[in-house]
Amino acid sequence: MSTNDWRTHNESGSKRVVVTKELPGDRWLEILTAADCRVEIGTSTEILSVEEISDKIGDQCDGVIGQLTEKWGEELFTALKNAGGKAYSNYAVGYNNVDVGVATKYGIPVGNTPGVLTDTTAEMAVSLTFSSARRVVEADAFMRAEKYHGWLPTLYLGELMKGKTVGVIGAGRIGCAYAKMMVEGFKMNVVYFDPYPNEYMENYIAAYGEFLKSQGDEPITCRRLDSVEDVLRVADVVSLHPLLDDTTFHLMNTERLSLMKDNAILINASRGPVIDEVALVEHCKTHPDFKVGLDVFEDEPLMKPGLKELPNVVIVPHIASATIWTRSGMATLAASNVAGVLNGYSAWQDPDDVLPFLGDNPPQAAPSIVNASEVGLSAYA
């Protein structure tokens, strides 16, 4: 990356913060400026290597906002520590690209950006579900190719979702939001697997089921099943929302794919390596009625051979959180994490309630520091 690929905001700031990519909105820059930071922003759209980021950190750097495409491990946290760095924030809610243990070893707080992308990401999972179920992308290509010669009873037959069963793997914030959308919008029954029961979701759906009953409609149900396999066997749609770690790497492999219904739909807006993509390509080839919607890929930005040729797969480039409101909100949270630590504030640590940070009088805290207690950041009182 050449020096031309960086721009500086607030030249005279006394603290130096490196932000490896341009971020949407202005609020994040105002927050860092108010914290007396000189902000150096990478303008290249190419993914930066560890060496490039390390060079940019240089001899003196107080904080960094980095991307999920960067490997924040021993090398970069050593560079940041040696440069006097005190704060790092990922510009993402997921932080599987960050070795939090290494950051903690060097006493560096690690921030993320929860809360503002829950519904946005769930909405993309819903979009992928229906694009797949109703073959929207295939039909769009057909129209553009001017192949439409008149209405036919059999043209692009898809799957009706109403009243069917949706399976959610990982019922955290996003999985729960997706389940609620599918229930309220399409009256689907929910089965889920998560190591921890989501009582809020179960009670919410039970109450909604009672409401439907009171209206003379079929009630809907929400059941936590004992295993991923149990969900795969019964669900018409399965949406994946687990964290990526050693236990969820290739969670969807040949064996588990084979448990799904032949005409089921599989959605992934979590992390690519949760699916064995080679196995998925093979499964889609041999099961033409099986449908898939993917926002994420195992070797992002690359796709496994054969994936893009499959008509039964809808693919988008990791844009589940890509709305202006959400991406600006993520920038605000990432900047507030770094500025909050540099200002000496406490950690907010209520990732379900970070919206006050988007308002005019944000709390004097760092909104989401995942290793706050480990690095000795006190909790906001």
Identify the CA nearest to 84 among candidates 103, 59, 66: 59
Helices (H) and strands (E) in the chain, counts: 12, 15
Q: Which is nearer to ligand DGY, 177 or 264 (CB)?
A: 177
Binding-residue pattern over the window 164 to 193 for ligand DGY, x denoting contact by CB under 6 A: ------------------------------
Peptide bond into 301 cis (omega under 30): yes
Q: Which is nearer to ligand DGY, 13 or 94 (CB)?
A: 94
Binding piece for ligand DGY, criterion CB under 6 A, among 89-97, 189-197, 278-286, 364-372: 89-97
Q: Which of residues 54-83 bind ligand DGY (CB under 6 A)?
A: 68
Convert 1-20 to b/e letters by CB count within 10 Å (16 or more is b).
beeeebeebbeebebbbbbb
Is residue 334 a contact point for ligand DGY (CB under 6 A)? no
**Minimum Å distance from CB 295 to ligand DGY?**
8
Q: Which is nearer to ligand DGY, 329 or 340 (CB)?
A: 329
Q: How far is CA 197 from CA 179, 200, 236, in A?
A: 14, 9, 21
Q: Which is nearer to ligand DGY, 61 or 65 (CB)?
A: 65
Is residue 92 a contact point for ligand DGY (CB under 6 A)? yes
- Dihedral sign for Cα 305, 310, 312, 314, please: positive
The count of other CB atoms within 10 Å of the CB of residue 23 is 21
AA identity, residue 140: D
Q: Which of residues 101-140 bind ligand DGY (CB under 6 A)?
A: 117
271 annotated active-site: yes
Identify the CA nearest to 254 among candidates 227, 231, 287: 287
Q: Which of residues 212-241 bind ligand DGY (CB under 6 A)?
A: none
300 annotated active-site: yes
**Active-site pick, 27, 224, 318, 327:** 318
Is residue 94 a contact point for ligand DGY (CB under 6 A)? yes
Q: Which is nearer to ligand DGY, 92 or 168 (CB)?
A: 92
DSSP string, 168-219: EE--SHHHHHHHHHHHHHH--EEEEE-SS--HHHHHHHHHHHHHHHHTTSPP
Q: Which is nearer to ligand DGY, 179 or 296 (CB)?
A: 296
**Minimum Å distance from CB 92 to ligand DGY?**
3
- Kindly give the pairing relationship between strand 37-42 and strand 6-9: antiparallel
Length of the chain, please?
381
The one among 18, 48, 93, 240 contacting ligand DGY by CB under 6 A: 93
**Minimum Å distance from CB 96 to ligand DGY?**
8
**Active-site pick, 30, 52, 300, 374:** 300
Q: Which of residues 294-323 bind ligand DGY (CB under 6 A)?
A: 321
**Minimum Å distance from CB 276 to ligand DGY?**
19
The count of other CB atoms within 10 Å of the CB of residue 151 is 6
**Minimum Å distance from CB 219 to ligand DGY?**
34
- Dihedral sign for Cα 44, 47, 53, 55, please: negative
Q: How many residues sit close enough to ligand DGY to count as binding (CB under 6 A)?
A: 6
The conformational region for residue 198 under phi > 0 = left, psi -120 to 50 = alpha, else beta, is: beta
Contact 70, 97 (CB under 8 A): yes
**Minimum Å distance from CB 244 to ligand DGY?**
10
**Active-site pick, 173, 271, 283, 327:** 271
Just list the catalytic residues.
Answer: 271, 300, 318
Which residues would be at the binding site for ligand DGY (CB under 6 A)?
A: 68, 92-94, 117, 321
